Amino acid sequence: MLKRWGLLSLTGLLFLTGCFPMFQQDEEDPIVEEPQQEEQVVDIVPRVSTPENYYQSVLYDGSYLHGQSRGFGNSVVYNRLDLDQLELGLTQIAKEQFDPEQYFFREGQFIARNELNNWLMRYDEEGNKAGLNPELGEGETLREQEESQPRYLSHILEHNYLVENENGNYELGGIVIGLSMNSVYNFRVETDEGLYHLYETPISQEDMEREGQRIADIIVQRLRDSAREEGIFNNIPITVAMFKEQPRQSAIPGNYIMQATAPPGEGLERWQRMNERYYLFPSSSANEDVSNDAAQFQQVKDDIQSFFDTFVGVVGRGYYIDNQLQELTIEVPLRYQGKAEIVALTQYAADIISQRITDQNIRVNLYITSVAGKQESMVVRNPGEEPFIHVFE
C-alpha cells in the first residue's frame, strides 16, 4: 500500500517538498494575503525487493515529480550510454551517504533549467559570470582558442534525498550532484563561407580532475548561499561525484572517478578516488587488462554462435569495481525465422551462462534482439541465484 500524507496549507507543502518554490514573489509588490488552503497528497512508491536495492520515489498527488532540467542531458551529453550510467551510478554513490531504508528519492528541484544552462556555458565577465567552464584561451584563431582552453564540464545532474521527520512529513535530507566531465572536447568552428568544421581535442585526466574539483567547490558555495531557498542547504550534506565521459563513438559508457562530501555548513572534504570502469568484449583492451574474463566471454560467444549454422553477432560489456567483474551484459542481435528458435536459444544461453560463468558473485544479463532492435527474450542471473528467462510475446 502507498503511504500518504495530506497537507492542508501551502506553508506545510513547502516544508514537505524541501522548500521547493512553488511561487515567486515580487519584492516590489509583496503578497500580504494569507495563502489559500489547498491539499496535496504525498505518496511513497511501495518498496520492491530487488538486488539493486533501489530508492523509493516520492509522488505528489499521485504523479512523479520530474527534475527541473528534465531532458537537458540529451542536448549536452552525446552518448546515451553515458547518460544512463551518469544517473544510475549517482544513485549508487548516494547509498554511501543516504541509506535507502531511511531516505527517499526525488529528481533535482533546485537548480533551475536556465540557471543550469548558464552554469554550463563559458565564464564571461560581461555576459555570463555564472559560467563554470573557463573563458576561451589564447590563440590567433577560434580553433586555437577552443583547443587551448576546452570546455571541461559537460553536464550537471542533481538528485534530492528526502527523509521523514518526527512529525511524519518529508524534508530535504541531502543532495547529490553529478559532474559529467569531457574526456574529449568536441567543438565546431564556422568558416568564412558559412560552413562548419568539426574538431576534437583530448583532455588529460589531470586537467579534468583539477577543473572538476574547482567547479565542485563553486557549486557547493552557490548552494550554501543563504539567499538560496532561505539557506536550507547549510543544514544538509552535499555529495559531489565526478563522472568521466567516454568519446562519442564509444560502445561502452563512462564511469565515476572521484567523489567528496561537504558536511552540513561546510565545504567539500577530501576527495576519494573510485576504481570503476567498463570493458567491451571482445576488444584488445579487455584481452590485455582482463584476459581471464575475456577468455570466458569468448567461450560463451563461441557456444552461442555454434547454436546456428549462420553467423550470430555476440558482444558484451563488463562492469568492474576495484578490478573485479561485477556485472556482465551480453547482447545477441539475431535474424530469426520463428519464435521457437528464440525459445530454444534462450534456454540454451541460460545453460551456457551457468556452465561458463562459474563465479556466482557476477550478475549476468543476456538480451536477444531482432536485427531491427526489438527485444525478443532475456536471461538474467542475479548473484547467488539460478538464471531465469523471459520470452517476450
Query: Are 207 and 133 spatial neighbours (Cβ–Cβ below 8 Å)?
Result: no
HSE at residue 288, side-chain half, CA atoms within 13 A, is 3
Q: Which of 3-7, 289-293, 359-363, 388-392 has the lowest mean pLDDT?
A: 3-7
Tell me the average pLDDT across 134-156.
95
pLDDT band (50, 70, 90) for residue 314? very high
Question: Cell 549462420, residue?
Answer: 310
Asked if the model's pLDDT at residue 143 lies above 50, the reply is yes
**Tens digits of residue pLDDT in 324-342:** 999 999 999 988 778 888 9
Asked if the model's pLDDT at residue 131 lies above 90, the reply is yes
| The pLDDT of residue 14 | 35
Tell me the average pLDDT across 343-351.
94
Query: Are 19 and 172 spatial neighbours (Cβ–Cβ below 8 Å)?
Result: yes
| The pLDDT of residue 76 | 87
Asked if the model's pLDDT at residue 31 lies above 60, the reply is no
What is the overall mean pLDDT for the chain?
Answer: 88
The type of residue at 197 is H
Residue ranges of the alpha helices (H) in the chain? 10-16, 73-76, 80-94, 113-120, 142-148, 205-224, 284-289, 291-305, 339-356
| The pLDDT of residue 67 | 87
| The pLDDT of residue 38 | 59
How many CB atoms neighbour CB 367 within 10 A? 16
Tell me the average pLDDT across 143-168.
95
The C-alpha cell at 20 is 521547493
> What are the Cα distances from residue 7, in Å, to 11, 40, 109, 167, 363?
9, 6, 20, 12, 43
Q: 77 or 22: whose pLDDT is higher?
A: 77
Q: Which of 45-49, 189-193, 385-389 has the lowest mean pLDDT?
A: 45-49
- At 45 the three-state DSSP class reads coil
pTM: 0.84
HSE at residue 195, side-chain half, CA atoms within 13 A, is 3
